[in-house]
């Protein structure tokens, strides 16, 4: 297993064919407004839509970023696992970063 630490490298890359454990510290959430993002999060009928930094997918200056998407994916995985779903289909579109999200 490889451990990737967002506080050491916010532009993480997930290696192919290896288990990955992503660790966040409370300070990262505090410094980047992620606790506020969590408290304000709303899932709409079209899923989760928000603004993104088109130049930096990991930037927490915009609410839609790699970190918040990882949190949404983790929550979905926990719910689907609890309900016993064996597989999940992720939809996508042609916007920037869609391939990064759907191939992860």
Q: Is 19 exposed, middle or buried (0-12, 13-18, 19+ CB in 10 A)?
A: exposed
| CB distance 48 to 56 below 8 Å | no
Residue 4 is predicted with a pLDDT of 63
CA distance 30 to 34: 6
Looking at residue 7, its pLDDT comes to 65
pLDDT tens digit at each of 104 positions of the chain: 556 666 676 666 666 787 777 788 899 999 999 999 999 988 877 777 888 888 888 899 999 898 998 888 888 888 888 999 877 666 656 566 666 665 54
């Amino acid at each position: 297993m490889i451990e990737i630490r967002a506080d050491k490298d916010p532009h993480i890359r997930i290696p192919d064919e290896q288990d990955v454990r992503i660790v966040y510290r409370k300070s990262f959430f505090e410094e980047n407004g992620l606790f506020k993002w969590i408290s304000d999060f709303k899932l709409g009928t079209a899923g989760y839509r928000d603004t993104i930094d088109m130049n930096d997918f990991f930037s927490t200056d915009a609410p839609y970023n790699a970190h918040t998407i990882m949190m949404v994916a983790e929550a979905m995985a926990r719910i689907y696992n609890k309900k016993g779903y064996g597989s999940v289909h992720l939809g996508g579109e042609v916007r920037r970063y869609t391939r990064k999200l759907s191939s992860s």
